[in-house]
Amino acid sequence: MKRALNLSIQDSNLKNSKVDWTDIWVISIAIENGYIIVSHETKKTPYEKRWYIPDICSDYNIQHFRFLDIIKKEKWKFKEKLRFPNFKN
């Protein structure tokens, strides 16, 4: 994993931008183990300075899927709608 972290830290695109280093940790684990990453994030817009998981995954050729896309692709069905507890007294 040290090799993957070093790649990420040395990347000039990441050095000078806002990046969540916990994302880098997850991506480093994926690089070292050949994992696919699933998150809720989408790619950044041209006006954003922050990098998101999909942006970094595409730079390092790591497969990334959004969780909702997996649900749609696999055609998962849920028996009941999500219910929230009633907190009114």
Is the residue at 22 inside a domain? yes
Q: Are 55 and 44 in contact (CB under 8 A)?
A: yes
Residue 23: CB partners within 8 Å, gap ≥ 6?
Answer: 51, 52, 53, 56
Residue 22: the pLDDT is: 84
Residue 88 lies in a domain: no
Per-residue model confidence (pLDDT) at position 79: 76
Spell out, as residue ranges, where the chain has pLDDT lower than 50: 12
Q: Looking at the 3D structure of the chain, how many domains does it have?
A: 1
Burial class (CB in 10 A: 0-12, 13-18, 19+), 78: exposed
Range of the domain at 26: 2-74
The alpha carbon dihedral of 38, 40, 42, 44 has a sign of negative
pTM greater than the 0.85 cutoff:
no
